[in-house]
Amino acid sequence: MEHMLPNLPYVFDALEPFIDARTMEIHHGKHHQAYVANLNAALKDQPSLSAMSVDKLLRNLNEVPESIRTAVRNHGGGHLNHSFFWPTLKKDVAAKGPAIDAIVKKFGSFEAFREQFSTTAVKLFGSGWAWLVVDNGELALVAAPNQDNPIMTGKIPVLGIDVWEHAYYLLYQNRRPDYVSAFFNVINWEKINEHYLAAVS
């Protein structure tokens, strides 16, 4: 089974002016596509592993031969992270619902959450993702390097922001804090509610 690049669930300029169309086009069509291609290349002589979902591969990296383990971790992680990411982006979605209720309960207020999530994203050194996860039934913040996904350490992702420079450099250059701030205008809270409810059920 070849892994496939999922379609973007909207047009490239759907997130303007917060995330620009050119970034979306390159991020999805070049970067995500490359993770998919490199994952397929790593698995080409591994029929049993090729039949596994990328989620399952990353939960069971120890079963992946050492010679391709890093490639599966990086490119499989890249494929999983970006497949998760695209549907969580949408403009003009009200921040309400069970995930918001749980966020307020955990962090004290939505603003306090926003501040802590943003700090996690801004301070992450190099390339990686900041995640809101469910860990043992509780919300928590995680900074993960490279393309590591929280499922690799038994946590369930609810919301994630890609802070690789390829996610923001064309529009924001070195201004990662501005990108992180803008990101809060394109969070699809309906999708985040779905992830949260699935994680705690």
In whole angstroms, give the CA distance from residue 12 to residue 25: 6
Q: Please, which residue, 4 or 198, has the CB nearer to Mn ion?
A: 4
CB of 173 to Mn ion, least distance (A): 16
Site string for Mn ion, 71-100 (x = CB under 5 A): ------------------------------
96 contact partners, CB below 8 Å, separation of at least 6: 189
Half-sphere exposure of 6 (CA within 13 A, CB side): 13
CB of 81 to Mn ion, least distance (A): 7
Binders of Mn ion among 150-179, rule CB under 5 A? 162, 164, 167
Q: Please, which residue, 164 or 179, has the CB nearer to Mn ion?
A: 164
* Strand spans (E) along 87-145: 128-135, 138-145
Let me know the angle formed at the C-alpha of 52 by 50 and 53, rounded to the nearest 5 degrees: 115
Residue 148 as a binder of Mn ion (CB under 5 A): the answer is no
Dihedral through CA 53, CA 54, CA 57, CA 61, nearest 10?
180
Number of residues in contact with Mn ion under rule CB under 5 A:
3
CB of 104 to Mn ion, least distance (A): 29
Binding site for Mn ion (CB under 5 A): 162, 164, 167
